[in-house]
Structure 1
Amino acid sequence: MGQDAPADEMIDLPLAGLHAELGGKMVPFAGYAMPVQYAAGVMKEHQHTRAAAGLFDVSHMGQVILRGADAETLALAFESLTPAAVLGLKEGRQRYGLLTNDAGGILDDLMFANRGDHLFVVVNAACKAADIAHMRANLPGIEVEEITDRCLLALQGPGAEAALARLAPEVAEMRFMDVGYVTLEGAECWISRSGYTGEDGFEISIPNEAAEPVARALLADDSVLPIGLGARDSLRLEAGLCLYGHDIDETTSPIEAALQWSIQKARRAGGDRAGGFPGAERILAELDSGPARLRVGLRPEGRAPMREGVTLHHAGAEVGRITSGAFGPSVAGPVAMGYLPAALATPGTAVEGALRGKMLPVSVASLPFLPANFKR
């Protein structure tokens, strides 16, 4: 996720005071001071999110509004930067997408929503300055507005709907990837039924001045605990979700990253808007013939996690590397993701990881490690 800033240069979140009150342990992340955990600790925060509801402050993410002369012009312009289908996304719906470069690598992964007269885009914190500059340079005639006066909170877990519906009953009608507007504590909030934990939940963009009242109202529910970056990482890893700068980057193609599902039929060979995005030649060729390597799930044997950077070996040769790894509390064992040659990417394949001078057994596993609990 890029270089962390020195402690004295870190940006404080608007809710920094609340995090301190809640006992948040702050660490540098993508240039921000972020809570890595609270009093409960990473393990309990992870398990609580899977069982009830967790509240995450993700205000470091970039929030961007794109406006064009009309909806079709705007959609087609954005399609010039991403393999995702933007035209045809219904109003009130959201989609996962990628910004690609001319070599077919991934500049960032993002969410974009059709809100009628504009697109609302959420990008990664460490990439947001570069993403916004990229959009402004490559979307002539499109207004690119960075939103800097709103917090972003994520409420995740099987209890998220009930907790949020106490404040706004209408959210119970939303399904996965719906977007809309609700009033919380007197403020207009932008809401999507989505998240990055594999659980049901919501992401809520809130005016800065209303963020603390909304957060306190949610935390007043006994089912809701504040959750830090530590549990966010283990939750998304169990869900098989990529972390930009680790599992995907400018050298990784969407097909290598097993993200081909994010490229809709209209943008593929034979589709009515095939290609036309950066790196299309490589990406469409890999869609057709398969990539040389693939992102895979990995299950190290035993209890010791294998973390990013551990090399993977087969038949005495180094064949790949782990890009994310941790202990998975919900699966009661270590989990990891990494890249292997396509010939070794089949679930059940045995490889080895070099950990502290020893070669230890690792098996290729299907992703996700836990089935998703989205409300379809």
Structure 2
Amino acid sequence: MDHTEPLLDTPLTSTHAALGARIVPFAGYRMPVQYPDGILAEHAWTRTHAGLFDVSHMGQALLKGPDHATTARALEALAPADFVNLAPGRQRYSQLLAQDGGIIDDFMVTRPLAPEADGTLILVVNAACKTGDFAHIRAGLPEGVVLIERPERALVALQGPEAAQVMARHAPAAVALDFMAAAPTTFDGLPVEVSRSGYTGEDGFEISVAADDVATLWAALLAEEEVKPIGLGARDSLRLEAGLCLYGHDIDLTTSPVEAALLWSIQKRRREEGGFPGADRIRREIADGPARVRVGLRLDGRAPAREGAEIAHQGQVVGRITSGGFAPTLQAPIAMGYVPPALATPGTKLDILVRGKELPATVTALPFVPTRYARKSKMGA
């Protein structure tokens, strides 16, 4: 969104202000960066209890066609994931790709559980990209498949090890979901769409609800002793500890999914068949290796390295930091960036150039902090 345009509010902006949040511009919206307890306390609360995030600025939409195969193949012409074989009630992460294989945006796709929704896919895209994303998708759709934006809906995320016990009191059916599963249900009688997913590395839920109802849902969750509101600051430090990409920083039009270490999100059928933008480049990078790859870095000492800092090896600049900061859980500075594959092995010693100084760093396997997603094996299923 052009910075000259007026900032938008989510349906909860006034609620955040009433809670004492510091409101900042983000992706064209006025969003809470932190509440009075501060970013470190909010980060720790989410790791130990349950944090509540307003993500209503994200772009929600429906992709609708005459049947699932038609709709799925229409989306497969724009993104490299296997949507044809996506089961009802399951969610998948993917990327919209440019013709050269660069990433236009990353997004989430859900196939609804209800049989009457056959032919529909639910999309959630990043806030800063949603206008361009929706135009790009529409331009690439065949006749009979349409994109329907959902500005009338809000989105909140409840994340943390106590999220499930909180949800059990309001939306018991949601607790039966495992990671990357989704279903329509009710929350204290309100119709909602819930997925067991999030962007913190913790177990949690994303809840799509009518904008007119979100204040009621938010208040009900905040009334629980396990729950506190969490702003953008802790959201960023949590996702960095989880080794998750932030669009416009760790991934963008200059990076491919292979370079970004997102090959896991391209299923075997798509790798073999291609048929998506940039397929030739991506298959070549799979076969021959990319020129660079995203890695995790743990710095010695306490000084953090920020986005844009150069990465050096034996005095030669070999890459650049794309995300960096202090990891509250580890009590250490961490970062992600791109380096040649030969320097990407965990344990490799590198230097990060910060204000003329070389800060020693070690390539570290991602995620920095182990994830605690609710997978079936962990749920006794």
TM-score when normalising by structure 2: 0.95
What aligned pairs does 1:191-202 form with structure 2 within 5 A after superposition? 191-202=194-205
**8 Å contact from structure 1 (residues 258, 294) kept in 2:** yes
Of 175, 181, 185 in structure 2, the residue corresponding to residue 178 of structure 1 is 181
Deviations for 1:286-328, whole angstroms, at most 9, x for unmatched residues?
Answer: 1111111000000111111101011111111111000000100
The alignment partner of 2:216 has SS state of helix
**Partner amino acid for 1:160?**
A
Q: Distance in 2 between matches of 1:245 and 1:85?
A: 24
Task: State the 1:185 CA deviation.
Answer: 3.6
Q: Distance in 1 between matches of 2:326 and 2:258?
A: 27
Deviations for 1:237-283, whole angstroms, at most 9, x for unmatched residues?
Answer: 000000000000001000000000000011112xxxx1000000000
**8 Å contact from structure 1 (residues 185, 210) kept in 2:** no
Q: 1:342 maps to which residue? A: 341
After the TM superposition, list the runs of 4 or more consecutive aligned residues in structure 1 that deviate by more than 2 angstroms.
Answer: none
The alignment partner of 2:71 has SS state of helix
Task: State the 1:157 CA deviation.
Answer: 0.4
**8 Å contact from structure 1 (residues 185, 213) kept in 2:** no
The question of 1:206 aligning with 2:209 is answered yes
Deviations for 1:211-246, whole angstroms, at most 9, x for unmatched residues?
Answer: 001000000001100000000000000000000000
Deviations for 1:181-201, whole angstroms, at most 9, x for unmatched residues?
Answer: 121243211110000000000
The alignment partner of 1:216 has SS state of helix
The alignment partner of 2:170 has SS state of coil
The question of 1:101 aligning with 2:98 is answered yes
What aligned pairs does 1:40-119 form with structure 2 within 5 A after superposition? 40-115=37-112, 116-117=117-118, 118-119=120-121
Q: Distance in 2 between matches of 1:147 and 1:37?
A: 27
Stretch deviating more after TM superposition (27-36 or 356-365) = 356-365
Task: State the 1:77 CA deviation.
Answer: 1.0
The alignment partner of 2:202 has SS state of coil
Q: Distance in 2 between matches of 1:128 and 1:372?
A: 28
Deviations for 1:324-363, whole angstroms, at most 9, x for unmatched residues?
Answer: 0010001110110000011111111111111122111111
Q: 1:11 maps to which residue? A: 8
The alignment partner of 2:369 has SS state of coil
Q: Give the total of aligned pairs.
A: 369
Gap regions ≥5 residues in structure 2 = 376-381
Q: 1:132 maps to which residue? A: 134
Q: 1:187 maps to which residue? A: 190
Question: Between the two proteins, what is the percent identity of the paired residues?
Answer: 56
The alignment partner of 1:152 has SS state of strand
Stretch deviating more after TM superposition (166-175 or 294-303) = 166-175
The alignment partner of 1:158 has SS state of coil
Q: 1:38 maps to which residue? A: 35
Q: Distance in 2 between matches of 1:186 and 1:20?
A: 27
Question: How well do the aligned residues superpose, as a CA RMSD in angstroms?
Answer: 1.0
Q: Distance in 1 between matches of 2:24 and 2:6?
A: 12
**8 Å contact from structure 1 (residues 114, 120) kept in 2:** yes
Of 2, 25, 29 in structure 1, the residue corresponding to residue 26 of structure 2 is 29
The alignment partner of 1:12 has SS state of coil
**Partner amino acid for 1:359?**
E
Q: 1:148 maps to which residue? A: 151
Gap regions ≥5 residues in structure 1 = none
**Partner amino acid for 1:261?**
W
Q: Distance in 1 between matches of 2:317 and 2:85?
A: 44
Task: State the 1:110 CA deviation.
Answer: 0.5
Q: Distance in 1 between matches of 2:325 and 2:225?
A: 28
**Partner amino acid for 1:30?**
A
The question of 1:366 aligning with 2:355 is answered no
